Amino acid sequence: MHELINEHGWVWVFVQDPGRDERYVGQHYAEEDISFIPAFVDKEEALKCHGRMVLEKNTKYEAQAVHYEDLIKEAAKNGFVVFLLNGNGEILDKIMP
């Protein structure tokens, strides 16, 4: 597991359409042409970054805790990389599943 992630293995991600057709929010890093799932070490950092993300209007988003291993499996299955970000949207690490 990544050294910035707490000992219990939880990270925070944004989920689109919580409670209905839930899916992790993905973003595109144009500089390197990478599709990624933004993840955060805590909820506060996730909420700080929310306004910096490209999101669809009139769609509900919610910050949710997810286990790191589950996130990595889902990212790999769908062709995404996981970017661990801080509240300013700066990349702390790129995690290749």
Residue 1: predicted pLDDT? 46
- For residue 9, CA distances in Å to 19, 33, 78 come to 23, 28, 21
| pLDDT of 87 | 95
Q: Where are the beta strands (DSSP E) in the chain?
A: 10-16, 23-24, 27-29, 34-40, 61-67, 81-85, 91-95
The pTM score is 0.89
Alpha carbons 66 and 73: distance in angstroms, whole number: 12
pLDDT computed for residue 9 by the predictor: 83
Round to whole Å and give the CA distance between 45 and 65. Answer: 12
Domain ranges of the chain: 12-24+35-89
pLDDT digits (tens, 9 = 90+) for 23-72: 999 999 898 999 999 999 999 999 999 999 999 898 999 999 999 999 99
